[in-house]
Amino acid sequence: MNKQPAHIGQIPPEQVHAYLHTRPEGLALSEVTERLIHVGKNQFELNDPWKLMRSLGRQFTNFFAVLLFFSAGICFIAHRINPAEDMGLLGWAVFGVAIFNALFGFFQEYRAEKAMEALKQFLPNLVEVCRQNKIDKIAATEIVPGDVIILMEGCKIPADVRIVESESLMVNNSPLTGESAAIRLSSQASDRPLEECQNIGFAGCTVVKGTGRGVVFATGLRTFFGRIANLSQATRSSSSPLEREISHMVRVLTIIACTMGTGFFLYGMLTGKPLWMNLVFMMGIIVANVPEGLLPTLTLALAMGSLRMARKNVLVTSLNAVASLGAVHVVCTDKTGTLTENKLTVTRMINPRSGETLTKEQELELATLAFCTSDVRQAADGLLGDPLDVAMAENLLRLGLGDLTDARRDIICHFAFDVEKRRSAGIARSKGSRFFVVKGAFEAIRPLVSGVEPIGGSAVHDIPLPRQLAESEQIMQQLAAQGLRVITIAYRLISGDEDPDKAMADESAAALEHDLILAGFIGIEDPIRPEVPQAVAKCHGAGIDVIMITGDHPATALAIAAKAGIVAPGDTAHLTGEALNQLTIADLSKQLQQGVRIFARTTPEQKMKIVTALKYMDRVVAMTGDGVNDAPALRAADIGIAMGKQGTDVARESAHLILLDDNFAAIVDGIEEGRTVFENMKKFTSYVLVHNVPEILPYLLYIVLPVPPALNIMQILLIDLGTDIIPSMGLGQEPADSEVMKKRPDKFSQQLLTPKLVMRSYCFLGIIEAIWSLFLFFYVLVSGGWQYGTPLAASSPLYQSATGITLATIILMQIGNLVGRRYEQRSGLDRGLLTNRLLLAGILVQILFSWATLYFQPLQKILRTGPVEPAVYGLAWLGVVLIFGIDYLRKLLFTRGQVC
């Protein structure tokens, strides 16, 4: 009686399909539907019921919210001390504002998060699956037990699978084990525990090398990864630089508010003023210093920026990366697919001895050799595999081969491309013999070559081999200088006393890599994207360096770089991967400072060294990548950029941004959008802080002089949360300035709350608003018969008219401030108000409220304001021209580089 296996890893590979009730050609669609209903979708959901509550809690516990709750408490205390002043109503108003502000912030954050989740649907995780003997790409969530899936380098394993075929297949199990060392997987049965079996691919782990096939035996929460995820808590990400900067700004404003409020409270107590009056005064100072609507507006600006970037084919995985992208000094980019169209086409097949083009028969023979080293799969919508391998297969079809099936049948074994060796290989049979074929970089194959024998030619024995290889290298360099990617093909016959089976079992071609015959060169053209030169020029105009990092030959890299405008034609400055290995970080930094912008024949691991050197130079670095080995460099860069089309799952998960169309021009569009978002954030921060001064100054005068306060708390809250919210949002939606890509990157890596911004807001614009609004306040009082030092009741019609005109003046002057903030050096009117409808709506709201505070009785009752003569209201309108004109004069007087 046969012993039942304890787990699927103990089953021989030829029995796996039957054990899982499937077939090598895959499941039928009816079976897939049935299993999907039975086991559900393949998704890993973290059970985190407190996520929304934690997000809401953060809104109630930030410094601004705490200050508002504190101010409400002061109102309730003051009401207990002196009920006649009716401070309890004000306390409930402030408390309501704190609640509203927290809920509004929570809503904006929730909406932004949902928007990001929706954007990620642009890039579903696709898996190659064999169903009904056809290979197709489907969403990973649709995988079911019994599915036969294709594994290849860079893909994330979507479910727990039993390996049934493998070619140099190696995986990284660090998501489960924490060990970063790659593990080789094979199809052989194992008696070890399931978690230790080297024939099991676990969900969440990544393929770092090779290819293979596996049969799914567990999906979703039934996988090993799913069980762990279901038991774990949601991971809390660390704060980003922008989040820390916003927190810093909030702390600074909070410290200012608390210091001023406490200081003048103590001053009032020392001068003998009543306790309730000092409490009210302290609360007024605090409320006036807190820009209640600032935080939700910041979140909204980032969310809208990410949506605009998505329309430009840039998917943002983190909201804070939107603004960070604007500060980039250097963009390190791949060549293939980013600068070029990734439409690899074989255009030249060359004799390595004469440099002449091969005949059609010779081309077919060389193309067949090249195909022996390629791993290509036929899918319903075309060929799948590495773009270079697909190009080789398409070339073979173009040369007259009717079907790839026969050519694939002759391939005995395939050795996957080795990044370090820069070559791939294969074993094939032809006319009863077995051949070992290699394709790759000439420099990588040259040491293995023992002769040059072109297709259709014969060996030459009277010319020394080094000379023959030197002549071949010269031919290769001429092709590369034309911008072609040059692939070298070499082969040899496997003799009868050799054992290629051992190489296949070891999944290593090392034992066969000797005494190769150089057969020919294949020149591959990959056209540069037409929009790239203009995008590169735009980067240079913005003070951003562009560095190309490629595995191609230096001559190819320099030719493409010259076409793209990265280097000048004729510029030969570059570093190869071999030279890069010899340099220290300090030496590499010197090379970069001296103008090296091209790195050729490099490996993905060397990108990390380049990033480190650039950071050593205090540069903000954006790095592109698409392979599994690019992930460390993407994480190390300030902005990691992955490819959406050709990128691997690992690269996309390591990146801050994903290019949906893999186009370099989209990076430049993203930088422009990032700079615009950062500029807009500074605009509305400056705008919001200006009205703090005319709100604070009346309370300072009230505490030190025998004059009534020009504003009450309700009026301050109307400005902060009523009339200023829509204009702030309008500034956050301002389109890109034509000058934004002509500024140096350093300008976008500053703090939001810079000393210049604070000085301009508080000590210049704020003072103008305060002086004019207070002038009209005292003008109305004196015109009505008030004398200096005479107290006025809050219910006095004269006092209510005076506070009303103060409030209306501040609201109107914010219109002039709003228009002026649109540009740092221009008037703000030259763009036209109609170009930003939200800004125009905000201005209309301000005009409406300025009139309603004075002449609309229901609002008068709430705000305790009264009417004034139309001529006085006209003077309030004069404040718009006053603040706008003086601010524009400042812009004209200062040079562009000195504008504060």
**Average pLDDT of the residues in 220-237:** 60
Neighbours of 461 (CB within 10 A): 8
Q: Quick: pLDDT tens for 723-774.
A: 888 898 888 888 877 778 888 887 666 677 788 888 999 899 999 999 999 9
In this structure, of 8-17, 176-185, 393-402, 622-631, the range with the lowest mean pLDDT score is 176-185
Give how far Cα 171 sits from Cα of 157, 190, 211, 504, 743, Å: 9, 17, 10, 19, 45
Q: Measured in whole angstroms, how far is the alpha carbon of residue 253 from the centre of its chain?
A: 30
Q: What is the pLDDT of residue 899?
A: 38
Is residue 208 within 8 Å of residue 715, measured between CB atoms?
no
Q: Are strands 314-316 and 657-659 parallel, antiparallel or unpaired?
A: antiparallel
Give the residue ranges of DSSP H helices in 312-403. Answer: 321-324, 360-371, 387-398
Q: Please, which pLDDT band fits residue 630 given cuts at 50, 70 and 90?
A: confident
**Is 70 exceeded by the pLDDT of residue 3?**
no
The C-alpha atoms of residue 262 and residue 773 are separated, in whole angstroms, by 25
Q: What's the whole-number mean pLDDT along residues 288-316?
A: 75
Highest mean pLDDT among 213-227, 332-346, 434-448, 628-642: 434-448
pLDDT, residue 331, reads: 94
Helix (H, G, I), strand (E, B) or coil at 425: strand
Instruction: State whether the Cα torsion 319-321-327-331 is positive or negative.
Output: negative
Alpha-carbon distance of 473 to 444, in angstroms, equals: 12
The SS3 assignment for 682 reads helix
Rounded to an integer, the average pLDDT of 10-14 is 91
Q: SS3 for 138-153, per residue?
A: EEHHHCCCCCEEEEEC
pLDDT at 253 over 60: yes
**Where does CATH 2.70.150.10 sit in the chain?**
8-43+123-234
Instruction: Name the band, by pLDDT with cuts 50, 70 and 90, for residue 47.
Output: low
Question: What pLDDT, on the 0 to 100 scale, is given for residue 205?
Answer: 84
535-578 confidence digits (pLDDT tens) = 999 999 989 999 999 888 899 999 999 999 999 988 889 999 88
For residue 517, give Cα distances in angstroms to 67, 417, 575: 79, 20, 30
Phi then psi for residue 50, to 5 deg, are -95, 5
Tokens (6 digits) for 207: 């393929």
> For residue 256, how many other CB atoms are within 10 A of its CB?
18
- Rounded CA separation 222/200 (Å): 15
Q: Given this model, what pLDDT does residue 120 score?
A: 59
Nearest CA among 92, 409, 435, 74 for reference residue 261: 74
Cβ-contact 298, 219 below 8 angstroms: no
- Per-residue pLDDT tens digits for 585-624: 999 999 999 999 999 988 877 888 999 999 999 898 999 8
CA separation, residue 744 to residues 81, 300, 619, 749 (Å): 57, 26, 12, 10
Q: What CA–CA distance (Å, rounded) separates 636 from 646? A: 21
Picking from 68-82, 144-158, 509-523, 855-869, which range would have the lowest pLDDT averaged per residue? 68-82
- Please, what sign has the CA dihedral across residues 554, 559, 563, 567? positive
- % pLDDT > 90, the chain: 34
73 to 90, 260, 408, 715, 762: CA distances (angstroms): 10, 18, 80, 19, 28
CA–CA distance, 29 with 33 (Å, rounded to integer): 6
Q: Where in the chain is the domain with CATH 3.40.1110.10?
A: 345-525
Q: 766 in helix, strand or coil? A: helix
Residue-wise over 654-683: b if at least 16 C-beta within 10 A, else e? bbbbbbbebbbbbbbbbbbbbbbbbbbbbb
Tokens encoding 314: 């840039």
CATH code assigned to 345-525: 3.40.1110.10
CA-CA distance, 215 to 199, in Å (whole number)?
11
Give Cα 7 to chain centroid, integer Å: 42
Domain with CATH 3.40.50.1000 in the chain: 314-341+529-662
pLDDT score of 135 more than 50? yes
Evaluate whether the domain defined by 241-304+676-899 bears CATH number 3.40.50.1970.
no
CA-based R_g, the chain, Å: 35
**Distances from the Cα of 810 to the Cα of 759, 765, 817, angstroms:** 19, 11, 10
The answer, yes or no, to whether residue 113 has pLDDT greater than 70, is no
Model pLDDT, residue 87 = 67
Q: Where does residue 899 rank: exposed (0-12), middle (13-18), buried (19+ CB within 10 A)?
A: middle
Query: How is residue 854 written in tokens?
Result: 């004075």
- CATH number of the 314-341+529-662 domain: 3.40.50.1000
Phi, psi of 212, rounded to the nearest 5 degrees: 180, 175
Those residues whose C-beta lies under 8 Å from the C-beta of residue 737, and which sit 6 or more positions away, are: 676, 679, 823
What's the CATH fold of domain 8-43+123-234? Answer: 2.70.150
DSSP codes, 553-576:
-HHHHHHHHHHHTSS-TT----EE
pLDDT of residue 898: 45
Tokens of 793: 């009741």
Amino acid at 188: Q
Region 143-162 average pLDDT? 90
Quote the CA–CA distance of 674 and 629 in Å, as a whole number.
27
Contact 489, 520 (CB under 8 A): yes
pLDDT score of 518: 94
pLDDT tens sequence across 472-529: 999 999 999 998 999 999 999 988 777 777 777 666 788 889 999 999 999 999 889 8
Q: How many CB atoms lie within 10 A of CB 131?
A: 18
Is the CB of residue 809 less than 8 Å from the CB of residue 879? yes
Residue 486: the pLDDT is 93
H helices present in 454-499, as ranges? 465-481
Q: How confident is the model at residue 348 (pLDDT cuts 50, 70, 90)?
A: very high
The region that residue 265 occupies, defined by phi over 0 for left and psi between -120 and 50 for alpha, beta otherwise, is alpha
Q: Tens digits of per-residue pLDDT, 402-444?
A: 777 777 778 888 888 887 788 889 999 887 788 999 999 999 9
Mean pLDDT of the residues in the chain? 84
**Residue owning tokens 């220290």:** 584
Instruction: List, in order, residues 6 or more apart from 492 with CB less than 8 Å away.
Output: 435, 436, 512, 514, 515, 516, 517
- Residues shown for the chain: 900
Q: How far apart are CA 823 and CA 829, in angstroms?
A: 9
Q: For a pLDDT cut of 70, what percent of the chain falls above it?
A: 89
So what's the pLDDT on residue 117? Answer: 64
